[in-house]
Structure 1
Amino acid sequence: MASPPRPPGAGIEAPPAVLAHATPEQQLTHALASFQAEVSPIAAADLAEVMHSARPAFRGGIGWSARLREQQGRSRLQVTVMHVAGAELYSESWADEASDLAETTGLMLAMLLGIPVSTQARAVEPCVDAEEQATGKSDVNPLPQICPDQRAEDPSPEGPVPLADSRDDGAPADADPALAPLTPEEVSEVHRRVLDLPQATRRELTTAFREHFQVPRNARSIGDRITQRQHSDFIALFLEEAQVQVQAEAPAEPGP
């Protein structure tokens, strides 16, 4: 699979003089750290938005490539991030659906570069119909979140809103741990585990997640729905049960 063209002005520059005697791995680490210190969260990990956000990294000596190969009769996607000094790192995922390639590539590239996918930015946006929020991403890429915590008993916007008690750390005293937000690192780890699943298992997980959390039908992705502790716990439990089922269905080894 050929890499999409880099955006204009994304040429690779020479590394800083202070790193002239550093190892290639150290130069790559420095370039990524410098980029991650400045990069802003993006709304969705689609390839076009990731490429736009990554332009400073490209100017800082980082490039990337994507390659699709056959492994055991299945398609395997490898995304590689490399530095002009020669060091590189990569991530792999099954890619059985051709329509998922661009979306999966974008998510993997964002994870490798350390580009955070924002879920907080959408919390201040007004709730809109699900039809207006669907953007057509794959099952492993983020979609806008649809104000899931709105309740009928919530105070009216015209009425007074009581102040909630909070702990010393600023969190509400009566906050449900299941609703605690995930960190960007935790979200990336959940995405990685989902990407590593075989296509059939990934579809089963997607269906179960949609039914449990009542994801609208016209939302083609569950990626941006994975924002709270209850979401990661649900996926972890699903993966554990799937592993138990695989072990139970495995043929027993013949006795001595």
Structure 2
Amino acid sequence: MRMKYIVPLLVMGWVLAAVWSLAADSFANLSLYREEEIVTTQYPGEKQTTTVTRSWIKGVKMRTDTGDGVEISLIRPDQDKVYNINLQRKMYAESPLSVYRKAAKLSLAMLGNDPTYQWTGRQKKIGSWNCREVVVADETAPNGERMKTVWWVSQDVGMDKQLLRHIMSLTMGMELDESTLKAFEKLTNIPGYPVQTETSFTRGGFTLKTVQTLKKIERRTIEDKIFELPEGLTKLNVPVPEGM
């Protein structure tokens, strides 16, 4: 059973602005739905996997279904809990929200400490959105490991940054340390919404590339019951990692 946080790759596509200035109750009536496609390719061999994620956000609650909906992540700040559910095995694990948020913040380290970003001049249309390419991070470690993150951003999506700050507050929380603040400040300066995020990690002769693409985002009516634990599940006791 894959009881894991749906965090590092999903977070990268939503990190757009600082969250320290937004009160969560500003979006108490928010109801938002989004779909994303995540394609992961390993080189050499070009082994590829494709996953579709669907997310529902209502007020401070958030649900993300992965693939065919068998695996579900529920973020419940009102309960200070995150639930990871596997419907096929009828099991779930829960953890404190602080642990989830700490893991999400750690994922920002991949962006590096360089406060700059670079427009490449390249443009393309993704879905119905006109996008521009920007290199967010391109870091090479002393041991030769390289991590590169590219965004294709658009100002046609129609979602303002106040909304995105609210979404990020659900994932990251409102308390940010200095390094996390720097990452947010950097990303806040990039105009537009990341319709597509390309992340590649290279170590030796091995490269892992992930392309995360927005397929749909819209406001819609969402019922409260989809944020509740389904009945008939067995709780899986998972110890909290040391230091989390």
TM-score by length of 2: 0.23
Quick check: which one's helix share is greater? 1
TM-score by length of 1: 0.22
